[in-house]
Amino acid sequence: MATIAFHGAAQEVTGSCHLLSSPSLGQVLLDCGLHQGMRAKHQTSREQFEFNPHAIDAVILSHAHLDHSGRLPSLVHDGFEGKIYCTQATAQLLPVMLFDALSLYENDLERDNRKRRRKGKPEIPALYSKSDVLKVLSLLVPVAYKEPTAIGQEASLIFFDAGHILGSAIVEISFKEKGQQKTLVYSGDLGKKGTLLMNDPTVRNSADIVLMEGTYGDREHRDLGDTLAQFKEILATAFQRGGNVMIPAFAVGRTQELLLYLGKLQQAGELDNWQIFLDSPMAIEITKIYDQWLPTLDCEGVKSLCSGESTLLKNFLSTLHLTVTPEDSMAINTIKNGAIIIAGSGMCTGGRITHHFKHRIWDSKNTVVFVGYQANGTLGRLLVDGAKQVKLFGEDTAVKANVETLGGFSAHAGQRELIEWVSAFNNEPKVVLVHGEAGALDVLSHTLWQEKGIVSEIPMKGQCIAF
**For residue 327, with 0-12 CB atoms within 10 Å meaning exposed, 13-18 middle and 19 or more buried, which class applies?**
exposed
Label the pairing between strands 402-405 and 430-434: unpaired
Residue 46 pLDDT exceeds 80:
no
pLDDT band at residue 38 under the 50/70/90 scheme? very low
306 pLDDT higher than 80: no
Q: Residue range 433-451: average pLDDT?
A: 97
Measure the CA–CA gap between 356 and 228, rounded to whole angstroms.
Answer: 24
Residue ranges per structural domain of the chain: 3-219+411-466, 224-409
Two domains, one topology: 3-219+411-466 and 224-409: no
State the CB neighbour count (10 A cutoff) for residue 115: 9
**Quick one: fold of 224-409?**
Rossmann fold (3.40.50)
Distances 273 to 160, 241, 279, 340, 410 between C-alpha atoms, Å: 41, 14, 19, 10, 26
Q: Which long-range contacts (CB under 8 A, 24 or more apart) does 153-156 make?
A: 153/24, 154/24, 155/22, 155/24, 155/25
Q: What is the pLDDT of residue 47?
A: 65
Write out pLDDT tens, residues 342-365.
Answer: 998 888 988 899 999 999 999 999
pLDDT digits (tens, 9 = 90+) for 245-291: 999 988 999 899 999 889 888 988 989 899 999 999 999 999 999 99
pTM metric for this prediction: 0.91
Amino acid symbol at 260: L
C-alpha torsion sign, points 230, 263, 101, 76: positive
19 versus 271: the higher-pLDDT residue is 19
Residue 29 φ/ψ, nearest 5 degrees: -95, 125
The whole-number average pLDDT for the span 16-35 is 95
Average pLDDT over residues 359-374: 94
Render the burial of 257-295: b for 16+ CB within 10 Å, e for the rest: bbbbbbbbbbeeeebeebebbbbbbbbbbbbebbbeebe
**CA 380/CA 393 separation, integer angstroms:** 15
Q: Is the pLDDT of residue 462 over 70?
A: yes
Query: Which CATH superfamily groups domain 3-219+411-466?
Result: Ribonuclease Z/Hydroxyacylglutathione hydrolase-like (3.60.15.10)
